[in-house]
Amino acid sequence: MTDQQQATGAIPAQPTPPAPGPWADYLAAAQQLDAVRRAASAAATEHQAAVTAARQELSVVRPRLAAQKARLTRDLAVPPPELTPMPTDRDVAAQAVAGGPAAALAALQQARRTAEAGDALLTETAPARQWRPWARNLLIYGPFAAVVLIVQIVLYLVASPGSVPTYALLCGLSMPVLAFGLGWVTIGFVYGGDPEGVDRTPIVGAVACLTPVLLTCMGVGLTSFFN
């Protein structure tokens, strides 16, 4: 018997069949035991590989399912009790993994594929994020208010010192009203297709359109104070 055969425990092949007798029976039994040992070693290796792969699949599937649960609860307002497995679901899962690590690995792989399909479906059917009415309208009132501020600054710079109060009075009364009216009309034109009606948030629009006047008055007052 060679050193390699001694290390592996393999039974050396006989060049010629031994004569019938106790020695032949011993060799046959040793070869059968060696075959059983090899089969058991291969089964243990496959078992350990299946356990390792199942743990890896579980580490991937569990966070994905948790993320899907949070997304369904947050975005689609699904009640949490409806996302809790029922007793029948648990029985089906127990039957799926009853065959050992290999069956558990196959069940987890199927769960991962189902989770991936669920992610794709949620991405396709996810509702578009809705802006709050005041924030949406501020995007329209804001540019008109900025135009009012720019016009007031230009008029203050180009006007003669004696005519500043007149320009300030005219701009302070007319331009914010004009900006508010243009914003009101623009909001109705852009978002007028809403069947529930358009919330123009007039208070937000009034504050946005009057802010340039307040800033201009503060600037003029501070300039006069320091001069």
Instruction: Say if residue 84 is in the same domain as residue 182.
Output: no
Instruction: Say if residue 42 is in the same domain as residue 121.
Output: yes
70 domain residue, yes or no: yes
Instruction: Say if residue 137 is in the same domain as residue 175.
Output: yes
74 domain residue, yes or no: yes
Instruction: Say if residue 32 is in the same domain as residue 85.
Output: yes
Q: Of the candidates 145, 144, 140, which has an alpha carbon nearest to the alpha carbon of residue 215? A: 145
Instruction: Say if residue 78 is in the same domain as residue 34.
Output: yes
Which among 125, 144, 162 is the end of a domain? 125
23 domain residue, yes or no: yes
Three-class SS of residue 150?
A: helix
Distances from the Cα of 87 to the Cαs of 93, 108, 139, in angstroms? 10, 19, 51
Instruction: Say if residue 69 is in the same domain as residue 105.
Output: yes
Tell me how far apart the alpha carbons of residues 227 and 224 are, in angstroms, rounded to a whole number.
5
46 domain residue, yes or no: yes
Instruction: Say if residue 119 is in the same domain as residue 189.
Output: no
Which among 77, 102, 125 is the end of a domain? 125
Residue 126's pLDDT is 53
Gyration radius of the chain over CA positions: 40
Report yes or no on whether pTM surpasses 0.75. Answer: no
Instruction: Say if residue 167 is in the same domain as residue 65.
Output: no
3 domain residue, yes or no: no
1 domain residue, yes or no: no
Residue 182's pLDDT is 92
Which among 105, 125, 145 is the end of a domain? 125
Residue 144's pLDDT is 92
Low-confidence ranges of the chain (pLDDT < 50): 1-7, 11
Instruction: Say if residue 116 is in the same domain as residue 14.
Output: yes
Residue 12's pLDDT is 52
Residue 141's pLDDT is 93
What is the total count of domains within the chain? 2
Instruction: Say if residue 14 is in the same domain as residue 119.
Output: yes
Distances from the Cα of 89 to the Cαs of 86, 96, 187, 201, in angstroms? 5, 11, 50, 49
2 domain residue, yes or no: no
Q: Are 112 and 64 in contact (CB under 8 A)?
A: yes
Tell me how far apart the alpha carbons of residues 59 and 105 are, in angstroms, rounded to a whole number.
12
Q: Are 137 and 197 in contact (CB under 8 A)?
A: no
Q: Of the candidates 180, 175, 171, which has an alpha carbon nearest to the alpha carbon of residue 142? A: 180
3-state class percentages of the chain: helix first, strand second, coil last, to nearest 5: 80, 0, 20
**Domain range spanning residue 171?**
133-221
